[in-house]
């Protein structure tokens, strides 16, 4: 009985399996011929597949029939689809396309119009019809579809869908305005609109984000048209910040602050962004505006301190800041420090004042007194005090008290042995050993720090180790390196003329030394500190002529480009020098920045 039942089931199932296998093989061959554009062969299979499942296989069969101009068959299956479900009016679009291919433009238009007229205003039908028009590149009809849908469902006005169609039409103004309409309709759409516009207009760090003049232009129109809508100036500020147009952002932030009677927060935050981007002038305008609002506002005190920090950074970034300006800033910092000596804001003031006195006003004694008083009286956290100990050590080094500096560095290294600051302290002690001529110990410490957590410390340690190895690796005579290290210390102490004389003495006393590129590079740094750009250029060119493949080859090439670009106002030479970085040193850490500046100097973004 069981055997008989098994035979019966087998007889029933085997044909089904065979049919399934045959169908799968037909699908495979049909798609294979379709993809390889062998449409006549594909249609042999599509005709069978279409009969089996009309809805699934219609799109393929229809396109394949059009490819071989079998318009009658294409019309037949399209009308069949309409009979299956007359509400799927996208098939009228396909009929219209058929008549368009046969130069019957009136019938083509009639079917397109009929499709729009008979569309049910429900999402599946709306999207199917609009997509059919888009697929046929009938973008204006797709817009008509969404216009009708918008009237029927005002709670969802199809801004995003219309924007995508305008993008396909390359009508960027209309696309942008659809997105702005979405924001005007519901302000919570701002973040979504920003993301979509970023995708549509492109985003490029080099050119400042969504750097498209049309977007700014349309935003400004909206601000004038709807002055009470804060979201539009906020969006414009977002764009201006991306493009680093901080003066433009300042104007908009100030206008919003006044209109909304705010507390200066926007301007304060913009000022900090300006500082991060080294736009000192705009930063000062921002902080000054907040201060001028008066002491009754929450950001008043912070704006005073941040304004002084911006002024400090601006002056110390100059090649040769005027002594009078430095002294005026010193007086401001002292007054502010007296006012804020019981708050955390004192830390920025104290750090800047000590640096200003020690490294720019040649007043190391007052700088030392200032920090020592802080370290003995302040209740600041241990990590904060450790940072000031390192600064104090640097000032002792500048003052010529090397062992006092070493003691402070060692204390920090011991107290924070598992933190990055300990690695920093360890490297500074290694440099002290280097200055003192203890090269084996300095190299041992530097080699350990090659694996430092901080990339900056690791790179500096590697450079120090290489200098020592190159100088005394083969020739055990350490005397030339001792002179070079002592010159390096003189540079740290701002005794530039003595340092230059010491470097020249190496060439006079030791004709066969191996420090040629190191000496040129150190001289270039000194001359640039003295604003002697002609000699700076000569030193970098000497490296590129005599030592192009040594340690400082790519550094010299890039810094020569920066010299032309930022200090000597020679964009043509700068452009060529940046190009040389890319060509000669493609693996350099400077290549990305060189390419960016090269493209800017070439004018790639001038029309944005």
CATH 1.25.40.10 fits 515-608, yes or no: yes
Residue 249's pLDDT is what? 95
Reply yes or no on whether the pLDDT at 130 is more than 80. yes
Report the pLDDT averaged over residues 186-203.
87
DSSP state of 474: S
Reply yes or no on whether the pLDDT at 4 is more than 90. no
The CA distance from 62 to 34, in Å, is: 12
The CA distance from 195 to 91, in Å, is: 34
Query: Do residues 201 and 210 lie in contact, with contact meaning Cβ atoms separated by under 8 Å?
Result: yes
pLDDT in tens, 371-401: 999 999 988 899 999 999 999 999 999 888 9
Reply yes or no on whether the pLDDT at 415 is more than 70. yes
Q: At what angle do helices 382-399 and 364-377 cross, to 10 degrees?
A: 160
Reply yes or no on whether the pLDDT at 417 is more than 60. yes
Reply yes or no on whether the pLDDT at 605 is more than 50. yes
Reply yes or no on whether the pLDDT at 105 is more than 60. yes
Residue 198's pLDDT is what? 86
- The set of residues, in sequence order, having a beta carbon less than 8 Å from that of 127 and lying 6+ positions away, is 161
Mean pLDDT of the chain: 90
- Token readout for 500 is 């230059």
Residue 10's pLDDT is what? 46
Residue 155's pLDDT is what? 87
DSSP state of 437: T
Least confident span in 43-47, 280-284, 502-506:
43-47
Residue 317's pLDDT band, with cuts at 50, 70 and 90, is confident
Q: Please give the model's pTM, rounded to 2 decimal places.
A: 0.76
The CA distance from 446 to 436, in Å, is: 15
Residue 14's pLDDT is what? 47
Residue 9's pLDDT band, with cuts at 50, 70 and 90, is very low
Residue 573's pLDDT is what? 96
Q: At what angle do helices 382-399 and 346-355 cross, to 10 degrees?
A: 10
Closest CA to 319 of 97, 150, 47, 528: 528
Residue 476's pLDDT is what? 63
pLDDT in tens, 332-369: 999 999 999 888 899 999 999 999 999 999 899 999 99
Closest CA to 309 of 276, 261, 263, 342: 276
Residue 473's pLDDT band, with cuts at 50, 70 and 90, is low
Residue 6's pLDDT is what? 42
Reply yes or no on whether the pLDDT at 207 is more than 70. no
Residue 8's pLDDT band, with cuts at 50, 70 and 90, is very low
pLDDT in tens, 59-86: 999 999 999 999 999 999 999 999 988 8
Q: How many CA atoms lie within 13 A of 412 on its CB side?
A: 28
Reply yes or no on whether the pLDDT at 608 is more than 60. no
- Token readout for 508 is 């006079």
Query: Do residues 132 and 175 lie in contact, with contact meaning Cβ atoms separated by under 8 Å?
Result: no
DSSP state of 371: H
Least confident span in 13-22, 99-108, 265-274, 388-397:
13-22
Report the pLDDT averaged over residues 525-545.
94
Percent of the chain topping pLDDT 70 = 94
If phi > 0 it is left, if psi is from -120 to 50 it is alpha, else beta; for residue 363 that is beta
Residue with tokens 């929450």: 298
Q: Where are the domains of the chain?
A: 515-608
């Amino acid at each position: 009985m069981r055997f008989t039942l098994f035979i019966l089931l087998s007889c029933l199932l085997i044909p089904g399996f065979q049919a399934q296998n045959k169908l799968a093989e037909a699908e495979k061959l049909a798609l294979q011929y379709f993809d390889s554009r062998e449409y006549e062969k594909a249609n042999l299979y599509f005709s069978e597949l279409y009969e089996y499942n009309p809805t699934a296989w219609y799109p393929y069969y229809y396109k394949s029939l059009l490819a071989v101009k079998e318009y009658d068959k294409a019309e037949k299956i399209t009308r069949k689809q309409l009979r299956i479900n007359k509400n799927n009016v996208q098939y009228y679009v396909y009929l219209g396309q058929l008549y368009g291919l046969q130069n019957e433009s009136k019938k083509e238009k009639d079917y397109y119009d009929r499709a729009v007229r008979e569309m049910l205003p429900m999402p599946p039908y709306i999207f199917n019809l609009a997509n059919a028009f888009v697929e046929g590149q009938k973008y204006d009809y797709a817009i008509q579809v969404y216009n009708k849908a918008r009237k029927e469902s005002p709670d969802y006005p199809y801004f995003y869908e219309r924007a995508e169609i305008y993008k396909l039409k390359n009508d960027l103004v209309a696309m942008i305005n659809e997105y702005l309409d979405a924001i005007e309709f519901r302000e919570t759409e701002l973040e979504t609109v920003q993301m979509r516009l970023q995708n549509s207009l492109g985003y490029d760090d080099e050119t400042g984000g969504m750097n498209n003049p049309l977007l700014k232009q349309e935003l400004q129109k909206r601000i004038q048209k709807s002055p009470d809508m804060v979201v539009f100036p906020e969006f414009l500020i977002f764009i201006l910040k991306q493009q680093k147009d901080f003066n433009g952002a300042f104007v908009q932030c100030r206008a919003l602050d006044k209109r909304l009677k705010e507390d200066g927060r926007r301007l304060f935050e913009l000022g900090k962004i300006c500082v991060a981007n080294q736009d000192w002038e705009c930063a000062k305008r921002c902080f000054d505006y907040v201060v001028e609002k008066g002491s009754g506002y929450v950001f008043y005190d912070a704006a005073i301190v941040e304004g002084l920090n911006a002024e400090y950074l601006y002056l110390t970034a100059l090649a040769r800041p005027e002594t009078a300006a430095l002294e005026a800033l010193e007086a401001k910092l002292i007054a502010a420090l007296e006012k804020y000596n019981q708050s955390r804001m004192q830390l920025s003031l104290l750090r800047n004042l000590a640096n200003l006195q020690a490294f720019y006003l040649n007043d190391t004694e007052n700088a030392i007194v200032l920090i020592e008083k802080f370290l003995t009286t302040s209740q600041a956290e241990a990590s904060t005090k450790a940072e000031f100990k390192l600064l104090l050590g640097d000032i002792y080094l500048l003052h010529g008290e090397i062992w006092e500096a070493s003691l402070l560095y060692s204390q920090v290294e011991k107290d924070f042995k598992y933190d990055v600051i300990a690695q920093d302290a360890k490297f500074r002690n290694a440099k002290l050993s280097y200055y003192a001529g203890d090269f084996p110990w300095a190299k041992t410490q530097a080699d350990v720090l090659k694996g430092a957590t901080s990339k900056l410390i690791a790179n500096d340690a590697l450079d120090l180790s290489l200098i020592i190895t190159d100088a005394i690796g083969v020739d055990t005579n350490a005397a030339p390196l001792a002179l070079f290290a002592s010159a390096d210390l003189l540079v740290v102490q701002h005794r530039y003329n003595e340092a230059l004389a010491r470097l020249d003495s190496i060439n006079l006393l030791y004709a066969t030394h191996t420090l040629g590129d190191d000496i040129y590079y150190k001289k270039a740094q000194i001359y640039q500190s003295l604003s002697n750009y002609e000699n700076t250029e000569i030193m970098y060119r000497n490296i590129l002529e005599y030592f192009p493949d040594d340690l400082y080859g790519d550094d010299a090439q890039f810094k020569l480009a920066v010299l032309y670009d930022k200090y000597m106002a020679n964009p043509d030479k700068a452009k060529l020098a940046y190009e040389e970085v890319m060509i000669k040193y493609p693996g350099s850490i400077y290549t990305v920045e060189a390419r960016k500046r090269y493209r800017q100097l070439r004018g790639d973004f001038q029309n944005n």
